[in-house]
Amino acid sequence: MSELFPRKQVMGFVFSLVLTAIALSVYFLDMSFTTGMIILLVTAFIQAGLQLVVFMHAGESKDKGVIYTNVYYALIIALVTIFGTLLILLWDM
Amino acid sequence: MKIDNSLPLEYSTDQNQLNILGFWIFLGAEIMLFGTLFASYFTLVDRTGAGPAGAEIFEITPVLIETLLLLTSSFTIGLAVHAMRLANKKATMAFIGITLLLGLAFLGVEIYEFVHYVHIGAGLQTSAFTAILLTTLGTHGAHVTFGLFWGTFILLQIKKRGLTPETGNKSFIFSLYWHFLDVVWIFIFSFVYLKGMM
């Protein structure tokens, strides 16, 4: 039975619950907008990286170079879209 | 078809490896899709018109339940892939089944949430904010709904055909999709709900 619950994945799950609890602190504790956003950005991106490496086995096959390049490319396009939009439409630059 | 037994089932043929790589490229396109939705959300979040703002309609309890359900389902689909690699058909099916039930529960809470929003006057046409909110949440929810059907069919195939290079490959690709939906939810949880309630 215990062989069905590998240590790496159980630890990954526990860690993702801890990250969720830390992110929740921005709701339950009183803090400035900047501090809150920093906490959310850090916990969300660690959480995403955790899923990618521990659960999605992104680095296990011989295609890992192509897979990571593709994910980074997609992330860059998504972030440029988001921050480019914010720069032009909200921050008036 | 050449089967390489030194590799896990889902990678064991050339076709399988290409299927997995192809699905990662699809997930890249999905990242960009949700990127555009988040860009629109951040642009329109303060355009509430005569409607309510996020802080007035968001409730922490259903959001927290949804988050825990989806995080746990992401864990159980990971265990399903692990059981598949151990060639344990029964455990693989059980973990996929648990994943689908958790996904169904998530969808139930989300539908409750949508009905609640419309009920309190925050429908799709209320304001630019409610429109982009429901579009972003709805796109994620539609992906989960699609995943529930997909997972059910894979479960039926494993039951009928056992764990073969084909069904193993399909299960693994489904697990990639499901983990991806969890990642998207983490960003919705952080930057739609928690940021809105901060």
Tell me whether residue B16 is in a domain: yes
Burial of A53 by CB count in 10 Å (0-12 exposed, 13-18 middle, 19+ buried)? middle
CATH number, residue B123: 1.20.120.80
Tell me whether residue B4 is in a domain: no
Q: Decide if A55 and B11 are in contact by the 8 Å CB cutoff.
A: no
Tell me whether residue B42 is in a domain: yes
Predicted TM-score (pTM) of this structure: 0.92
Chain A residues near residue B11 by CB distance under 8 angstroms: 61
How close B198 comes to chain A (CA, Å)?
A: 5
How close B182 comes to chain A (CA, Å)?
A: 8
* A9-60 pLDDT per residue, tens: 899 999 999 999 999 999 988 889 999 999 999 999 999 998 888 888 877 7
Q: Per residue of chain B (198 residues), give pLDDT as tens.
A: 577 777 788 888 888 889 999 999 999 999 999 999 999 999 999 999 898 998 999 999 999 999 999 999 999 999 999 999 999 999 999 999 999 999 999 999 999 999 999 999 899 999 999 999 999 999 999 999 999 999 999 999 999 999 999 999 999 999 999 999 999 999 999 999 999 998
Q: How many domains would you assign to chain B?
A: 1
ipTM at complex level:
0.90
CA–CA separation, A51 vs B27, rounded Å?
Answer: 14
Nearest Cα residue in chain A from B87:
A4
Beta carbons within 10 angstroms of residue A28's beta carbon: 9
Burial of A10 by CB count in 10 Å (0-12 exposed, 13-18 middle, 19+ buried)? middle
Predicted pLDDT of residue A72: 93
What are the residue boundaries of the structural domains of chain A, listed by start?
Answer: 1-56, 62-93
Are residues B80 and A22 in contact, defined by beta-carbon separation less than 8 angstroms?
no
Count interface pairs A-B at CB distance under 8 A: 136
Residue range(s) defining the domain that contains residue B21: 9-197
Tell me whether residue B1 is in a domain: no
Chain A residues near residue B68 by CB distance under 8 angstroms: 20
Tell me whether residue B152 is in a domain: yes
